[in-house]
Amino acid sequence: MDRSRRIVLKGAGATGALAAALAAGLLRPGVAAAAWNKAAFDAKTTADAMKALGYAGAVESKDIQIRAPEIAENGAVVPIDITSNIPGTTSISVFIEKNPFPYTGTFDVSQGALPFVHLRAKIGESSPVRVVVTAGGKHFTAAKEVKVTIGGCGG
C-alpha cells in the first residue's frame, strides 16, 4: 500500500476535493495536513490509537527488531532504532504505551526507503515501546520494555 492511499484512508474527514486530489497524486505525500491522524494521536490508549489507524488485530512478529536502552539515562530523550525484516514493509508505527498519548508516529518507507528508522522520544515512565509494521496491507507487532530512571543532578 503506498503512502497516498494510506493518507486517503486516514484522512476520512477530508473534503471530497482533497481526497480526490490525494487519490490523483496531486499532493505530495505527507504534505497534506489532513493526513495527520488526529483521532489516533488523541487516543489515550494504544488499543484505541491502533483502532483509529486500522491496526487492530496486528499479529505478533519476531521479525521486528527494536533497539532501545533497557534503562534510559534520560526519559526526555530515549533513542529507538527500529528495523523490520518483514518483506514488503511499507510503514513503521510507534506507540509508547504508558505515555498520556501513546501514538508517537508513523514512518512511511514505502517509496524507496529501507524498512528502518531511528527516532528519539520522550518516555514519561517505564513503558513498553510497541511497534506496528505494515507489510502487504497486513499489520505485525512487537514490543520492548524501556525503564526510565529518576534523574541525577550532575551532567
Partner 1 sequence: MQKSFRAALATCCAVAAATLAHAQTDPTTEDFEKFRAVMEDANPAELWEVKGEQLWKTRRGPKNASLEQCDLGLGPGVVKGAYVQLPRYFADVGTVMDAERRIVHCMVTLQGFSFEEIAKRPFSSGNYTPDPVSIVTFVAAQSRDMKIAVPQSHPKERATWELGKAIFHYRAGPWDFSCATCHGEDGKRIRTQNLPNFTKHDQAPRSFIGWPGYRMTGGVMHSLQWRMNDCFRQQRFPEPGYASDTITALLTYMGVNSNGFVYKGPGIKR
Partner 2 sequence: MADPMKIRASLQGDVADVRVLMAHPMETGQRKDASGNVVPQHFIQTITAQLNGKPVFGADISQAISRNPVFAFKVKGAKAGDKLSITWIDNKGDKRTDEVVVGGG
Residues 127 and 99 sit within 8 Å (Cβ to Cβ): yes
The single residue listed with the C-alpha cell 501513546 is 102
- Which of 17, 114, 150, 153 is close enough to bind partner 2 by CB under 8 A? 114
Is residue 154 a contact point for partner 1 (CB under 8 A)?
yes
Is residue 12 a contact point for partner 2 (CB under 8 A)?
no
As measured in angstroms, the least distance from the Cβ of 120 to partner 2 is 4
Q: Which does 44 bind (CB under 5 to 8 A by kind): partner 2, partner 1, none?
A: none
Site for partner 1 in 49-108 (CB under 8 A): 69-71, 73-74, 76-77, 79, 81
Q: At a CB cut-off of 8 Å and minimum separation 6, what does 2 contact? A: 29, 90, 110, 111
C-alpha grid cell, residue 15: 473534503
As measured in angstroms, the least distance from the Cβ of 53 to partner 2 is 10
- Which of 1, 21, 47, 119 is close enough to bind partner 2 by CB under 8 A? 119
Q: How many residues bind partner 2 (CB under 8 A)?
A: 35
Measured CA distances, 15 to 6, 19, 35, 40, 70 (Å): 16, 6, 12, 19, 44
Residues that bind partner 1 (CB under 8 A): 69-71, 73-74, 76-77, 79, 81, 118, 149-155
